[in-house]
Chain A
Amino acid sequence: MGARLALVAAIVLSVGAGFLYVAGWLSPQRLTPARLIDTFERINGPHPGFRRNHAKGVSISGYFEANGAGVRLSKASVFRAGRVPVVGRFALAGGMPYAADSAATVRSMALRFSLPNGEEWRTGMNNIPVFVVRTPEAFNEQLKAMAPDPASKKPNPESVKAFLATHPETARAIGLIKAQAASSGFEDSTFNSLNAFLLSDAAGRVTPVRWSMVPEQRPVPVALPVAGSGPAPVANFLFDALIARLERGPLRWQLVLVLGQPGDPTSDATLPWPENRERVEVGTLTIDHIEGEATGAARTINFDPLVLPNGIAGSDDPLLSARSAAYSQSFTRRSSEPVARSAVTTHAGEKVSEP
Chain B
Amino acid sequence: MNGGSQFAWSSRVLHWLMAVALLSMLLIGMGMVTSLGQYQLLVAIHRPLGMLILVLAVIRLVNRQLKRPPPFLATMSARERVLATASERLMYALMLLLPLVGWAMLSAARLPVRLGPLVLPPIAPHSQALYTVLRRSHTVLAYLLFFTFMAHLSAVLFHSLVLRDGLLRRMLPWTARARGLSGKEPDASDRAP
Q: Which residues of A contact B162 (CB under 8 A)?
A: 1, 4-5, 8
Contact A8/B157 with A300-B128, A301-B110, A310-B116 known, Cβ cut-off 8 Å: yes
Once the chains are docked, how many angstroms separate the CA of A18 from the CA of B40?
A: 22
B116 contacts across to A, CB distance below 8 A: 310
When the two chains form the complex, which single residue of B36, B37, B128, B146 contacts A335, counting CB atoms closer than 8 Å? B128
In the complex, whether A281 has a CB less than 8 A from a CB of chain B is no
Contact A32 B128 (CB under 8 A): no
A10 and B76 alpha carbons, distance in the complex (Å): 23
Q: Least Cβ distance of A277 to chain B in Å?
A: 25
Contacts of A136 in B (CB 8 A): 36-37
Is B114 an interface residue when CB atoms closer than 8 A count as contact?
Answer: yes
Count the A residues whose beta carbon is within 8 Å of the partner chain — how many? 44
Contact A7 B161 (CB under 8 A): yes
Q: Which residues of B contact A117 (CB under 8 A)?
A: 118-119
The answer, yes or no, to whether A314 is at the interface (CB within 8 Å) is: yes
**Chain B residues, Cβ within 8 Å of A302:** 109, 111
Q: Is the CB of B150 within 8 A of A16?
A: yes
Q: A322 CA to B36 CA in the complex, in Å?
A: 4
Contact B161 A8 (CB under 8 A): yes
User: Is A119 at the interface (CB under 8 A from chain B)?
Assistant: yes
- CB-nearest residue of chain B to A314: B40
Closest residue to A5 on the B side, CB-wise?
A: B162
B contacts with A, residue count (CB < 8 A)? 39
A118 lies within 8 A of chain B by Cβ = yes
Which residues on the A side are within 8 Å of B153 (C-beta)? Answer: 11-12, 15
Closest A residue to B39 using CB positions: A325
B117: Cβ under 8 A from any A Cβ? yes
A301, B119: Cα distance in complex, Å: 18
Q: Which of B36, B39, B120, B154 contacts A12 (CB 8 A)?
A: B154
Q: How far is the CB of A227 from chain B (nearest CB, A)?
A: 34
Quote the shortest CB–CB distance from B165 to chain A (angstroms): 13
Residue A171 interfacial (CB < 8 Å): no
Tell me if A326 is interfacial: C-beta within 8 Å of chain B. yes
- Any chain B CB within 8 A of the CB of A304? yes
Residue of B nearest to A320 (CB): B40
Which of A15, A325, A326, A332 gathers the greatest number of chain B CB atoms within 10 Å? A325
> Which residues of B lie under 8 Å from residue A336 when comparing CB positions?
128, 132
* Chain A residues with CB below 8 A from B128, complex form: 300, 335-336
Of the listed stretches A23-31, A53-61, A248-256, chain B binds: A23-31
User: B residues within 8 A CB of A324?
Assistant: 39-40, 43
| A68 lies within 8 A of chain B by Cβ | no
Residue of B nearest to A331 (CB): B109
Is A321 within 8 A of B37, CB to CB? Answer: yes
Q: Which A residues are CB-close (under 8 A) to B38?
A: 321
B112 proximity list for chain A (CB < 8 A): 118-120, 307
Q: With A4-B161, A310-B114 in contact, is A335–B132 under 8 Å at CB?
A: yes
Shortest C-beta distance, B33 to chain A (Å), equals: 7
Is A111 an interface residue, CB under 8 A from the partner? no
| A321 close to B41 (CB less than 8 A) | yes
Separation of A31 and B154 alpha carbons in the complex (Å): 33
Is the Cβ of B40 less than 8 Å from the Cβ of A33? Answer: no
Known contacts A30-B34, A307-B112; can you find 8 more A-B pairs with CB under 8 A?
A1-B162, A18-B27, A19-B26, A136-B36, A306-B43, A321-B36, A321-B41, A335-B132
29 contacts between A and B (CB under 8 A): A1-B162, A7-B161, A8-B158, A11-B157, A12-B150, A12-B153, A16-B150, A18-B27, A22-B30, A22-B31, A23-B30, A23-B31, A32-B34, A33-B34, A117-B118, A118-B112, A302-B109, A304-B111, A306-B40, A306-B43, A310-B114, A310-B116, A314-B40, A321-B41, A322-B37, A322-B39, A324-B43, A325-B40, A326-B36
